Every structure is written in C-alpha cells, then in structure tokens.
A and B are shown apart, each in its own frame.
Chain A
Amino acid sequence: MITAADFYEALAEGTLLATRCADCDGLYIPPRSLCPACYGTELKVEELSGKGTVGAYTAVAITTTRMIEAGYGRDNPNITAVVDLAEGVRISALIHGDDITVGTPVVFDSEHSAEHVVFRKDDS
C-alpha cells in the first residue's frame, strides 16, 4: 500500500509521486492504492514531470497557524494554487514567487518541497 508517508518521503527527495492503475490506466496524485474508477488494486508508482499551469489560485492573508509559523501572514500572504499538471491531473501546491494568474506556467520546485508541495513560475 502506498500512503501519504510515502508521498512526502519521495517529495523530500525531490520526486512528485503518482500512481497509475494497471487495469484502466487512471493516473492519481496524490497516489492511491485503490483505483476509484475501476476498483483495481494493481497501481504502479509513477514520477510526474512537474510541469503545469495554474488552474486556480489565491493569496491567503488570514492564514493557518502552520503557514504563519512558516513565515506567512497578512503582510506576506501565501500564494496557494490548484496546479493543472501536464499529465492531465491536478495537485494543490504552495507557489513561490508572485505575479501569477490563471494559466501561468509553473514548475515543481523540488528544492523547496518537503513538508508541502512547492511550485514556482516556469521561466523556461
């Protein structure tokens, strides 16, 4: 079974972990052990490219204790987004850097991802 512990362990090592269903080809991030589309249980680990675009975003001024402890807050809102990944799936991510909008290309920031998934603007 693959769990969030595996996902965050891989994340800390710079990998964005997904699983793909051997039966119906469904791709899942966060990774799952049971395919909700076909109930298949043979899911194989797959590493994603880390490329995507911003699907929806916000700049959170009144934020969680967890984010405040990470240095965010009213004067430094955390930018958080739903990222549309190149593989056709989505993930919630913290965005480093500003000046983003819906559609902005972003890329997985493996250096800064450990406790949370971080993406940054893709300037390439």
Chain B
Amino acid sequence: MAQRKLGRGVAIVGAGMSPFGTFARMATRDLFVEAFLDMRGSVDKGLDPDDIEALYVGNYSSDLFEGQGHTAPLMADWVGLTPRPATRIEDACASSGVALREGIIAVASGLYDVVLVGGIEKMSNLPTGEVTDALATAGDALYEIPAGFTFPGFYAAMATAYMHRYGAQSEHLIQVTQKNHENGALNPKAQFGQRIADIMEGKKERAAAKGRPVPEWESEMAFFHDDRANPMIAAPLRLFDCSPISDGAAVLLLVSEEIAGQFTDEPIRVIGSGQASGRALHDRDTLTSIPAAQRAGQMAYEMADVTPDDIKLAEVHDCFTIAELIAIEDLGFFAPGDGYKATEDGMTARTAPRPVNTSGGLKSKGHPVGASGAGQTVEVFKQMRGLAGERQVAHDVDVALTHNVGGTGQTCAVHIYERGQA
C-alpha cells in the first residue's frame, strides 16, 4: 500500500466529553452541548466559537435510538454553529473515529483551519430488546442477522474461535474486565467507574438493604461464574464481558498546525491516520483477528513512521473482552495468540510501559457507540498533557494511539498522536 501523508499538519487543541452513563432527562443535543462546553474549557488560550468553520459528527443511529434523523445540523445549531456546514458520519461504533479522520482530512486539505469533530449516542431510551435489534443492524441484515447473530453474538463466536485456536479460557477474557474497571474507577466520567470488588460489595449491600439473602462469593472469579450476578448474554460472553448501553458525547477541536499556537503551547499533533473496511464475519479469511484493524493500524504506523514499540499508551475498542485481546494483537503490540497471556501478565495494565485503556475502556467508561471513538481521543489528549488526574500514568506519553472498530470489523479507524511544541 502506498504511503500517504497529510497535505499539511493537523493538531488537536481541545477535547472534552460529557459523562458517559444513562441520563433519562438528557437528549443527544444536551449531551453534545455538555461535551462542547467541556472541550471549550480545555482550550488553554481560549476558543472563539466564531472561528469554527465546520462540524463532523459521528453518530450510529439516533434514528433507531431516539427517532431522530439528520442529527448533524441539529448539533451545530445547539452549539451556535448554524449556518456552517455540519456533516454526520455513520460507521457503526467507529462513527466518531471516522469523523475524526474526516475532520483531519478537511483541515489537511487546506479548506478549513478550524474544525469541530464530535461523537454522539443516546441509547438508553429503548428497552434492551430494541437496543439488541438496533445494534444487530450493524451486521449484514440479509445474511447474518437471519441466522440469529446479535452484536454480542458475533464477538462470542470470535471468542470461541480464538479460545479454540490459542487455548485461552473465559478466565483470561474476564481479566480484561478486571483491568478496565481498575482504570475506570479512577475516571469520574465513567459509567461503571468501580472496581469489581466494589461492585460485588455494592450488590451485597443492596441485597441486605432489601432484606434479601446476601450473596457470598469466594473470589472475583466466583462472582464472574455466578449465573445470577453475571448472566450469560451470548455464550461464552457474559454480562461482564460486554460494554454497557450508554448515553454520551465527546467533542474535539482540530486546527491546522500552523495556527495551533493561538490555542495552546501543547498541541497534540495527529501524525498517523488509517481507516479500512472489512467484510461480514463469514466472508473473512480469519475468525481470530480483524483484517480491517490490521490494515488501518498499518496505514497509521506508516503515515506516522513509528512502530508499535513507539506507542506509550493506547485506547482500543473493547466493546467486548475478546475484542481487546484481538485489538492488541491486530495492532502489533503482541503476536497473534499472545494477547491473553500478555493481559494475564499485566502487560496492558495502567502501570505497564504501554498501558491499554487507561480511561476504563468502553467496558467501564461506557460505550455510547457513536461517541466512543472521539471519547478515546479525549483520554489520549489528557494523558499526553498530564491532565488525567488520578489515573495519569507515571511515564511520559509522547506518542499514543486510538483504535476504533465499527460492527465486527467492517470498519476500523486507527490514529496516532504526538505531543508537539507550538
């Protein structure tokens, strides 16, 4: 594949997000406003919204979730951007990772100097059954869904292939959950920002308060094996293998590198961007990796002229536990089949040289699908600038990566960032 470069440098100078969670009284536009204000507060030298020239917003399906189509001009209006161009990007759960790429391309082209990129999703209005149906439409409605696949079902199938091929067990998968909840517990914006031990304690307390029998578990693994506490969703994946149903928004401010100094002395330069498409799961050569992710990663590494060893922190798409194991292999952090061993050995922990999902990942932080990609970039922005609070990693993060997957890998967007000097 031919090596591609951006037409000119692009930097992120602001990043913010709403809390992720379920917010009955908030519509998508309210979450977007909250994320916009958070972003605005993050711009060191201030932002005059009049300078924003266009909006690219990722959104999977407000149509199905909220009965609201044509969301981009609506979002633009609610943050005061009308009549500037506003474009919605839909690539399932990779919608805002791809929106970021479109924003980068728009600035790199020279057409705009200042662009707003967002991600939005409001999923909690619908009962779980309808959310299951809505998410399933990211698969092939003619040939996959009729066979009975759901979104967790696809990843569950990949998990059986992975476990069979490499000898991983359910206990290995759930170690991703344990790690990501450890991290999410330090993230005030996380939907389930609690360690597993605290979740277990909470369940006991609630049972006691309601006068019900108080459950006892010998260990966290015993808790994960308990069908009541951790029911099967799509075998072998249980509830705690799955990211939650979430509402949320995230917003990024992109500018041409030449003017980045007007906004901050510490811009985050985008040095690599890759995106690839993929076929339905049954139309791929492999069931244990995601070819689109491998390709998007390779494109981003080549553009950035870095290797996996240069990455000091990564936010990867852990919509399910198995997805994180496959992600860290597809990105070249570990050899195929070694991802679960590396996780078991703590090589993706927050204290490791190359931590994965310090934000808590989609599992703990929440997965408002269209907002998740932009949300990953918010974490990278904070960690690279030393502003991640309690969960700030100890080492210097001068180069970082985000990996955002749509569907079961029919889309993947990978970005690589470097901390610059304005």
Beta-carbon nearest neighbor of A103 in chain B:
B164
Partner of B157, one of A64, A81, A101, A103: A81
CA distance A83 to B24 in the complex (A): 42
Beta-carbon nearest neighbor of B242 in chain A:
A62
Q: List residues of chain A with CB within 8 A of the CB of B159.
A: 58
Partner of B132, one of A64, A72, A83, A102: A64
Partner of B149, one of A30, A61, A92: A92
B interface vs A, CB < 8 Å?
128-130, 132-133, 136, 140, 142-150, 152-154, 156-161, 164, 231-237, 280-284, 287
Check A61/B133 contact, CB under 8 A, given A56-B161, A67-B148, A90-B283: no
Central interface residue in A56, A65, A83, by most chain B CB within 10 Å? A56
CA distance A80 to B146 in the complex (A): 10
Q: List residues of chain B with CB within 8 A of the CB of A81.
A: 147, 157
Contact at A92–B164, with CB atoms within 8 Å?
no
Contact at A63–B282, with CB atoms within 8 Å?
no
Beta-carbon nearest neighbor of A59 in chain B:
B235
Check A92/B233 contact, CB under 8 A, given A4-B143, A116-B146: no
Contact at B153–A80, with CB atoms within 8 Å?
yes
Q: Check A115 for interface membership: any CB of B closer than 8 A.
A: yes
Q: Check A94 for interface membership: any CB of B closer than 8 A.
A: yes
Contact at B160–A102, with CB atoms within 8 Å?
yes
Contact at B164–A102, with CB atoms within 8 Å?
yes
A interface vs B, CB < 8 Å?
4, 30, 55-68, 72, 77-83, 90-94, 101-103, 115-117
Q: List residues of chain B with CB within 8 A of the CB of A65.
A: 129-130, 132-133
Contact at A63–B157, with CB atoms within 8 Å?
no
Contact at A4–B235, with CB atoms within 8 Å?
no
Central interface residue in A58, A80, A91, by most chain B CB within 10 Å? A58
Q: List residues of chain B with CB within 8 A of the CB of A93.
A: 147
Beta-carbon nearest neighbor of B232 in chain A:
A61
By Cβ-Cβ distance, the 6 closest A-B pairs, closest first, are A58-B156, A56-B157, A102-B164, A80-B148, A56-B161, A92-B147
Check A61/B233 contact, CB under 8 A, given A55-B161, A56-B287, A67-B148: yes
CB distance from B145 to the nearest CB of A (A): 7
Contact at B164–A60, with CB atoms within 8 Å?
no
Beta-carbon nearest neighbor of B143 in chain A:
A30
Contact at B150–A62, with CB atoms within 8 Å?
yes
CA distance A113 to B136 in the complex (A): 21
CA distance A40 to B108 in the complex (A): 36
CA distance A89 to B234 in the complex (A): 24
Check A58/B164 contact, CB under 8 A, given A63-B148, A64-B136, A82-B287: no
Central interface residue in A62, A65, A68, A81, by most chain B CB within 10 Å? A62
Contact at B282–A82, with CB atoms within 8 Å?
yes
Q: List residues of chain A with CB within 8 A of the CB of B287.
A: 55-56, 82
CB distance from B383 to the nearest CB of A (A): 34
